[in-house]
């Protein structure tokens, strides 16, 4: 009998330190993967740091064939193609494209991974679905709320499976904390959550305007967003500008809010408010906030976010994290660890992230890899593949991704409007606020059409 294409890599995965969690979390779906015979053909849009990282984690747990790569930066694209060729089992070199429409027009991909800047996410995901592919989409799913609603409508139309790259839901030590502490009631009634990020991650430089290099297609990179003056290759620096994303709230809060929502089984917040601004780093070109607080209100529960891109962290052990306060105990958690303290018995539990260096030695030589998130991304990919096989929803499905993304967008809108906002999914409006409702859809640059015009 022919071996399944997933057999070898899945067996190696289950021998890892996360094996027990993989089985308990995903149940019997692993058996389904064992019977897959067809190699899945994969394409990647956005071959930068995290696009390649997602692709390499997928290649580690499934015998996929990377067929196509796309990037507007020809140098980055060529480097990625060489790296993929070395990792391919048959050492074949993927085709390369500088335009994702051209790549998707081939209609020969089973899975498309999207690791492009945020302002492209919704459009590229919809085009990938139109081309017949399932999609692994990095967070946030959109840069405005009606993009997200259109994406949901498109997914219903085309029937594709989408996994959103909010892999806290597949992080082994967080799965353990949820199963053993939250779900068993050891925290008791929960009435308050705090979330934060104190990384100095905001771009503070003022770069001069320079000519666009021949190897970089700035027009295509910008796409539907406003065309800013070119002050150098924008890789990873684009997050400093609201034209391309949702600021630190949309980048970092979305992970922690999504993790909390998953742990506590929360849906949409009933109200969102926010304060903040650029209080310290005023000399930078960046127009994202360097200081911001947001309150996400749920029934008898407030989830409060804070970020500062300057100054000291409130807790050096947890510079980016969340804390769940219950009547019986408190849980503090991050991508690196968690700590639980019982208020009834005084018991303390401390668990750290589990690395898989021995099972995946290539992790140790991969440039810029986040070793602590690699196990979570591998598990997230396996969950994605299982959902495709079983035609079920993955753990970080599009609906959950939309709620977490839109909630963070609402926080930024509330900051801009200087008032709390209530979004209604039935009518897709801000309740009793026509002025704020008008901000649910961004203006696109001339020549580009907002997906809500087609799907809503």
Q: What is the pLDDT of residues 250-284, one digit of tens each?
A: 999 999 999 999 999 999 999 999 999 999 999 99
Instruction: Answer yes or no: are the C-beta atoms of 445 and 455 closer than 8 Å.
Output: no
Residue 257 sits in the same domain as residue 204: yes
* Model confidence at 415: pLDDT above 50: yes
> Are 159 and 197 contained in the same domain?
no
Domain assignment of residue 111, yes or no: yes
* Same-domain check for residues 299 and 388: no
Residue 28 has pLDDT above 50, yes or no: no
Residues 311 and 391 in one domain: no
% of the chain beyond a pLDDT of 90? 90
Domain that holds residue 380: 7-169+373-401
Residue 381, SS3?
helix
Domain assignment present for 426? yes
Where does residue 208 rank: exposed (0-12), middle (13-18), buried (19+ CB within 10 A)? Answer: exposed
Q: What are phi and psi of 65, to 5 degrees?
A: -110, 115
Q: How many whole angstroms separate alpha carbon 243 and alpha carbon 233?
A: 16
Least confident of 12-26, 254-268, 283-297, 426-440: 12-26
Say what the pLDDT of residue 36 is: 58
Position 313 in a domain: yes
| 430: CATH | 3.30.360.10
Structural domains counted in the chain? 2
Answer yes or no: do 93 and 15 share one domain.
yes
Beta strands in 375-427 (DSSP E): 423-424
Residues 150 and 211 reside in one and the same domain:
no
Q: Is 230 in contact with 218 (CB distance < 8 Å)?
A: yes
Average pLDDT for residues 4-25, to the nearest whole number? 40
Q: Label residue 63 by pLDDT band (50, 70, 90).
A: confident
Confidence band of 90 (pLDDT split at 50, 70, 90): confident
Domain membership flag for residue 237: yes
Least confident piece of the model among 10-24, 46-60, 76-90, 254-268: 10-24
Query: Over 90: is that where the pLDDT of 21 sits?
Result: no
Residues 152 and 282 occupy one common structural domain: no
Q: Are residues 149 and 45 in the same domain?
A: yes
Torsion (CA) 262, 263, 266, 271 in degrees, nearest 10: -100
Residues 140, 441: contact at Cβ < 8 Å?
Answer: no
Shared domain check, 176 and 109: no
Residue 377 and residue 239 share a domain: no
15-31 burial, b at 16+ Cβ within 10 Å, e below that, comes to ebebeebbeebbeebbe
In the predicted structure, residue 33 carries a pLDDT above the cut 80: no
């Amino acid at each position: 009998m022919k071996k399944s294409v997933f057999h070898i890599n899945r067996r190696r995965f289950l021998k890892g330190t996360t094996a027990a969690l993989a089985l308990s979390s995903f149940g019997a779906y692993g058996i389904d993967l064992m019977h897959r015979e067809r190699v899945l053909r994969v394409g990647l849009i956005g071959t930068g740091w995290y696009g390649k990282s997602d692709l390499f984690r997928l290649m580690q747990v499934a015998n996929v064939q990377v067929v196509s790569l796309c990037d507007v930066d020809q140098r980055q694209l060529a480097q990625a193609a060489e790296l993929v060729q070395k990792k391919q089992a048959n050492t074949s070199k993927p085709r390369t494209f500088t335009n994702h429409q051209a790549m998707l027009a081939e209609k020969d991909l089973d899975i498309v991974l999207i690791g492009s800047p945020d302002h492209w996410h919704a459009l590229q995901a919809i085009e990938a679905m139109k081309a017949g592919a399932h999609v692994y989409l990095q967070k946030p799913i959109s840069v405005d709320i009606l993009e997200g609603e259109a994406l949901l409508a498109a997914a219903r139309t085309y029937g594709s499976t989408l996994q959103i790259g909010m892999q806290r839901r597949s992080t082994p030590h967080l799965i353990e904390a949820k199963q053993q502490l939250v779900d068993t009631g050891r925290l008791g009634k929960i009435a308050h959550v705090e979330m934060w990020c104190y990384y100095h991650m905001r771009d503070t430089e003022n770069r001069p305007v320079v000519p666009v290099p021949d190897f970089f297609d700035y027009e295509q990179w910008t796409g539907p967003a406003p065309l800013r003056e070119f002050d150098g290759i924008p890789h990873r620096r684009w997050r400093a500008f609201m034209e391309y994303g949702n600021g630190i709230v949309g980048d970092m809060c979305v992970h922690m809010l999504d993790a909390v929502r998953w742990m506590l089984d929360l849906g949409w917040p009933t109200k969102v408010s926010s304060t903040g601004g650029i209080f310290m780093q005023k000399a930078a070109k960046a127009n994202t906030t360097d200081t911001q607080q947001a309150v996400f209100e749920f029934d008898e529960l407030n989830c409060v976010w804070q970020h500062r891109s300057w100054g000291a962290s409130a807790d050096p052990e947890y510079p980016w994290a969340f804390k769940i306060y219950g009547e019986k105990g408190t849980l503090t958690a991050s991508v690196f660890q968690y700590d639980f303290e019982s208020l009834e018995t005084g018991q303390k539990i401390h668990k750290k992230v589990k690395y898989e260096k021995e099972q995946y030695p290539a992790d140790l030589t991969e440039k810029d890899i986040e070793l602590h998130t690699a196990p979570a991304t591998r598990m997230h990919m396996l969950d994605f593949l299982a959902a495709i096989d079983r035609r079920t929803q993955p753990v970080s499905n599009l609906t959950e991704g939309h709620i977490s993304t839109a909630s963070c967008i609402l926080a930024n809108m509330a900051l801009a409007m200087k008032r709390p906002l209530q979004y209604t999914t039935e009518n897709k409006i801000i309740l009793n606020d026509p002025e704020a409702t008008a901000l649910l859809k961004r203006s696109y640059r001339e020549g580009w059409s907002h997906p809500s015009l087609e799907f809503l």
